[in-house]
A and B are shown apart, each in its own frame.
Chain A
Amino acid sequence: MEPSSLPPRLDLTGITKRFPGVLANDHVGFAVRPGEIHALLGENGAGKSTLVKMIYGIMQPDAGEIAWNGQRVTIANPKAARKLGIGMVFQHFSLFEAMTVLENIALGMDASIPARALEAKILSVMGQYGLKLDPHRIVSTLSVGERQRIEIVRALLLNPKLLIMDEPTSVLTPQEVDQLFVVLRQLASEGCSILYISHKLHEIKALCDSATILRGGKLVDTCDPKVETSRSMAEKMIGGSLKDIQRNADRSFGPDKLVVKALSLTPPGAFAVALREISFSVRAGEIFGIAGVAGNGQNSLLLALSGEEVAPDHGAVVVNGDAVGGLAAKERRLKGMASVPEERNGHAAVPTFSLTDNAVLTARDRLGMVRAGLIDARAARTYAGEVIEAFSVKATGPGAAAESLSGGNLQKYIMGREILQKPQVLVVSQPTWGVDAGAAAAIHQALVDLAATGSAIVVISQDLDELLSLCDTLAVINEGRLSAPMKVADANIEEIGLLMGGIHGEGGSAHAA
C-alpha cells in the first residue's frame, strides 16, 4: 500500500453522459487509489459500461472531470487511455477469431514490435503471473477462459497503472475465478489499481477494497464491501428490498414430460459444439437446470431440444410420451414444446419487426393465427397485447419494434409469448442474461408459476447462483456431455465447479488451466 498522501490514481467528478431519452451517467464521482481494487457495482442499465467507456476513451463525457494522478485529463480515444496507463479487459472480448494469439496481442499494442520480440515479452509476462497460453494458437480454437487470458496479457504488456475488468468472471468456472483473483491481487500489490465491474456480490466481498454502487445512472454510495453484507449492497444496487421467489415448499412432481435418451448431434458450423450421448428426463412440475461454462454445447442443446436442429434418432427426444426427435421446430411446437434461446435480438425475436409480428413467429400455429395461408393480423395483435399486459412489458404498444425495447422488457415479452401458449415443456437458455433485477425476479417467478401448473422446464444458464435458487434438479454440461443429475438441495458447489471444468466423477484432481 502506498501512503494516502499521494493523489488518487483516478479521480472522477460530476461525470455526466446523456443519450437520446436516457441520462446514462448523472454527476458520477469517485476516486481510485494506487494499488486499490475498487468495485463498480450496479445492475444492467445502471450506467457502469458507459462510465468505463468514458474512462477508456471510447466515449466522451458531456460534462464532468477526469483527473489522473492529480492532473486533469481528457481521454480522447483508447490509444490515449493506454498511453496514460489504462488497460481494459472487455466483457465481450475484442478478439479476432481467425487470427493467432500473437496477432491479437500485437493489435492491442500501440507501437509496432517485431513478432519475435513481442513473443518473448508475452512469455515473460505470462511467466511472471503464472498464465499459460500458446502464442501461435488460432483464437477460435481456444476456450473462453483462455480467450480472457489473451485480453489480460494484452493489457499487462502495457504495464498498466489502472486495469479495468468488465464482468470478468461471468464466463469462468469457480476454480478459474480463484486463479484470476490471485493474478489481480498480485497486480494490486505491485501498485496497479483495478476497477472491477461486477454484479456478483460475494466476489466483490472476497476481492475488493472498496465499492462504488450505481443505480439508474446515479452514484448511490461508495462503501467498504468487507463491512457491508451482500444483502445490504444488493439493496443499494436495486434500490429496494429483494424479492424472493415464492413457491410451494412441499410441491411434488408428476410423470416424465420430457425424456432425452442418448442424444448425439453435430450441428453445422465451424464453432458449434457436438452433443454426445445426452440423457436426462424432466417430470411435470420440475425445473431442471443445466450449468456449464459458455461454449460447452449449451447452444447446440437448445437447438436440439427446440427442433431447430433435428436429431438423427427420432426416439432421442420424447415430449409427453410422443417421440419428436425427427420433427422440426414447427411440429414440435404443436406437440407442446416451446423454447427461448439465449440471444434475444436475432434469434428469439426479429429486431426490426413489431411485437405483433414477433408474436406470429412462434405462436401462429398453436394459437390459430393462420387461415387459408393468410395471417390473421388482428389475432396476432390481440395476443401481443395480452402478453404485454400479463408480463407488464414496457413498450409503446404491440406496434413497437422489438429492438426498441430494453433487454429486460424484450426478455419478458419473449418469455410471456411462450408461457401464455401453455407449453407442456419449456426450454430456456440464459433467461436473465443482461436483464435488470426487477425483470429477472419477474421471469423467475413466471417460470416457477408455469412449473406449478404441471409443465416441465429446462433452464440452461451460466449463472450458477440463478440455477441454485431456481431449480429442483441440476446437471452440468461440459464439452457436449451432460453429468449425472443431482438434487439442488444436496448439491456441492465445489463438485459442480469441478464438473464445469471438465473433471468427471469423484476423485478427479483440478487440472492446471
Chain B
Amino acid sequence: MTLDLIIAALMTVVGLTTPILLAGLGELVTEKSGVLNLGVEGMMLMGAISGFAVTVFTFNPWLGVLGAAFGGAASSMLFAVLVLQLNSNQVATGLALTIFGTGLSSLIGLSFVGRIVPPFSSIFPAALSRHPVWQVIFGYSPIVYFALIMVPITAWFLHRTRAGLILRAVGENDHSAHSIGYSVVGVRYAAIAFGGAMAGIGGAYFSMVITPMWAEKMTAGRGWIALALVVFAGWRTGRLLAGAYFFGILMALELYAKAAGFSFMPSQFWAAMPYLMTVAALTIISARGTQGANAPACLGKPFLPST
C-alpha cells in the first residue's frame, strides 16, 4: 500500500465516523435525560434535506448547517410533544419519527434531485488542507472539527455544569427531580431538541459533504448505528468517540475491501460487516453488564407526575 492510499483511507474513516459521532452525541444527551428516541435515522434524513435545501437557496453552507440543525430539531419536537405531553410509548413514537422523516425527506427532496451545493471553504490555508500529507489533519470539512470539539464540550456539560447535573438527575430519577422542583418535561424537551439538532447536522454531512447531493434514504441506516453506539459506549462520551472510530473503520473496510485484496469473501460480506460487528459489540458490552451502572435509570419510561 502506498502512502497516498493510507492517507485516503484514513480520511475516509474520519468522514464515515463524523455523522455517527454527531448523531451519537446528540442521542447520548437525550438518553441521559431519560428519553429513548429511536427516530435518529428520520431526524438525520430531515437534517440532510433541510441543510441541502437551505444551501441550495442561500449558497451558504454555514447557513445550511444551521438549517440542518433546525430541521433535525424541529422534527424531534414532533416526537417530544407525543412522548412528553401525551405520554405515548417512546419506542413506537421513535419508530414513527423514523418512518415519517424518511417519507417527508423523500417528498421534499424530489425537487432537489440532481442539484448541487457549494462546498465549504476550508478553515485552514490551502497549503495545509491540500498538502499531500497534512491534509490528513487539516483537509476536512468544518463539520468534522465541530463533531470532534463537541465531544469534550458534551462531557464538560454533563459532568461539570449544573445544567448537566440537573439533566442527569432527571434521567436518573424523574419523580425525585420533580419533587425537588425541577421541570422534568422542560429538561427533556431541551435534551430531545439537542439530540435532533445533532442528528440533523450528522445527516447534513451526507448531503452536503460526502456526496454532496441529495438522494432518498441516503443515511442508509447510520442513525441506527448511532443508537447502537450510545449503548456500546455505555453512555460515556469518551467511549462514544472511540466507538465511532471503531465503526468508522468497519464501514471503510467495505469500501476498501476489494482494493485491499479482501476479495476472498463476496462484497456482500463486507457490506454486512458493520451491522454484524454492531451486534457482536453490543453482545460483548451487554454480556459484561458493566454499562448498566451508567445507564440512565428512567430511560424509556413515561413520566406521569402525581399532581
Contacts and interface: CB of A to CB of B under 8 A. Distances in A.
A95 B181 contact: no
B172 interface: yes
Given A94-B176, A98-B293, A98-B294, A106 B165 contact: yes
Contacts of B176: 93-96
B273 interface: no
B307 interface: yes
Interface size class of A (residues with CB under 8 A): 20 to 34
A226 B49 CA distance: 75
B9 interface: no
A82 B180 CA distance: 10
Interface size class of B (residues with CB under 8 A): 10 to 19
Contact of A95 (B166, B173, B294): B173
A128 interface: no
Given A78-B181, A112-B162, A96 B173 contact: yes
Contact of A97 (B162, B173, B182): B173
A281 interface: no
Given A106-B165, A107-B165, A112-B162, A98 B181 contact: no
A107 B169 contact: yes
Contacts of B65: none
Most buried by B among A78, A94, A108: A94
Contacts of B111: none
A77 B168 contact: no
Given A106-B165, A107-B166, A99 B172 contact: yes
A96 to B, nearest CB: 4
A255 B265 CA distance: 72
B181 A97 contact: no
Nearest to A88: B179
Contact of B169 (A58, A93, A96, A112): A96
A397 B234 CA distance: 47
Given A78-B180, A106-B165, A108-B180, A96 B307 contact: no
A389 B307 CA distance: 33
B175 interface: yes
Contacts of B21: none
Contacts of B165: 103, 106-107
A252 to B, nearest CB: 48
Contact of A78 (B162, B169, B172, B179): B179
A141 to B, nearest CB: 12
A57 interface: yes
Interface string B168-198: 1100110111011110000000000000000
Contact of B307 (A59, A90, A103, A108): A59
Contacts of B173: 94-97
Nearest to B294: A98
A99 B180 CA distance: 15
A1 interface: no
Contacts of A97: 172-173, 297
Contacts of A79: 181
A93 B177 CA distance: 11
B270 to A, nearest CB: 39
Nearest to B183: A77
A37 to B, nearest CB: 23
B238 interface: no
A374 interface: no
Interface string A77-105: 11100100000001001111111000100
A82 B166 CA distance: 18
B275 to A, nearest CB: 30
B118 interface: no
A22 interface: no
A120 interface: no
Nearest to A111: B162
A270 B289 CA distance: 10
A58 B297 contact: no
B119 interface: no
Contacts of A90: 179
B288 to A, nearest CB: 14
B125 interface: no
B292 interface: yes
Contacts of A107: 165-166, 169, 177, 180, 182
Interface of B: 162, 165-166, 168-169, 172-173, 175-177, 179-182, 292-294, 297, 307
11 contacts: A78-B181, A79-B181, A90-B179, A94-B173, A94-B176, A94-B177, A94-B180, A96-B168, A96-B172, A99-B172, A107-B166
6 nearest A-B residue pairs (beta carbon)? A78-B181, A94-B176, A96-B172, A112-B162, A79-B181, A94-B179
Given A96-B169, A97-B297, A107-B165, 17 more contacts: A53-B307, A78-B180, A93-B176, A94-B175, A96-B173, A97-B172, A97-B173, A98-B293, A98-B294, A98-B297, A99-B169, A103-B165, A107-B166, A107-B180, A112-B162, A270-B292, A270-B293
